[in-house]
Amino acid sequence: MRFYWVDEARVRRYSYDAANKWGLPGVHCPVCDAIWSSGSERYPSVDLSQLPERDKYLARLEEDYAEFERLREQVRPLAPPGVPLRPGALLGPLVGKAQGEFCPLVMEYCWALLMKREALERLQSEGLQGLKGCRTELRYRRKDPPELLEMELLPRGRVHPDCLPADRPAPCVKCGRVAWKLPDEPILEATSLPQDLDLFRMSDFMQMIVGSERFVETARRLGYEQDIVFRELPLR
C-alpha cells in the first residue's frame, strides 16, 4: 500500500484563531536540561471538565518534573490507550473564532486536520478505518456556520533511519525529547506502518499526518482535495 503526507495548502479561503481547551504543561527536563513542549500531539476527545485540578492543564512551564508526571498520570485513563502524552500534548475541544469558506477537509496548520461532519460521515461510509472526529467550540459570524470536527489522529509508524542524521543522539531517556528535525525528504519505515488505520500521525514526528492510499484515493474521488495537498512518501 502507498502512503501520503497530508499537508496544508499555501492558499486558503478560511482561517481560525483557536486553541485546545487544555493541555499538559511544558517541562524543564532534569536529565537532558531541555525546556520544551510539543503542540502536535493532540487528543481532542479528552474531557477534563470533571477533573478537580483542570486549571493546572493550561499553557505553562512545569519546573518540577515529578509534578508533570503526576499530572500526566491523571490524564492517562481519559486518553486513548497507549499514547505517549508528551509535554505540551493538547487536550479537549478546539476553542476560538473561525471565518471564511471552509472546504470539506480543513488544515489551517500542518499538524491539525478538521473535517466538516458530512465529509467525515461520507468517508466513514466508504469503509475507511480509524477516522474519529471530535466536536469543536468554534464561533462564527455567519448565520449558517459549518459543523467542523477535529480529527483525533493516533501516533503510528516511524520514519526510516536512512533519512535521519547518522550522528543523531538517542531520545532523552527521561522526557523522550528528540533532538533532531523532521527531514525535508522523509522516508517511511514500511514495517512500522499500520494496516488498520487510514489516517494517523507519525509516532516520532507527530506534526506529520499520513494518509493511506485508500484515504487519498477516496478523498480525491469525492472532490475533497481542495485546500489540502497529498504528497506520496517513499517506503523502505
- What are 44-69's pLDDT values in tens digits? 999 999 999 999 999 999 999 999 99
Mean pLDDT value across residues 19-27: 97
Question: Which amino acid, residue 211?
Answer: G
Mean pLDDT value across residues 150-171: 94
Q: Indicate whether 70 pLDDT > 90.
A: yes
Q: What confidence tens digit (pLDDT) does each residue in 192-202 have?
A: 999 999 999 99
Mean pLDDT value across residues 158-184: 92
What is the structure's pLDDT at 226? 86
What is the structure's pLDDT at 124? 98
Q: What confidence tens digit (pLDDT) does each residue in 82-97 have?
A: 999 999 999 999 999 9
Question: Which amino acid, residue 231?
Answer: R
Percent of the chain with pLDDT over 90: 85
Least confident of 28-32, 118-122, 180-184: 180-184
Mean pLDDT value across residues 128-154: 93
Residues 69-91 as b or e (16 or more Cβ within 10 Å = b): eebbeebeeebeeebebbbbbbb
Q: Which residues, in sequence order, are bridge partners of residue 91?
A: 22, 43
Q: Which residues, in sequence order, are bridge partners of residue 159?
A: 188
The whole-chain average pLDDT of the chain stands at 94
Closest CA to 205 of 168, 148, 99, 72: 168
Q: Indicate whether 12 pLDDT > 90.
A: no
Alpha-carbon 146 to chain mean position: 21
What is the structure's pLDDT at 142? 77
Which residues are within 8 A (CB) of 17 and not within 5 positions of it... i.e. 6 or more apart?
Answer: 96, 97, 98
DSSP secondary structure code for residue 96 in this structure: E
pTM of the model: 0.94
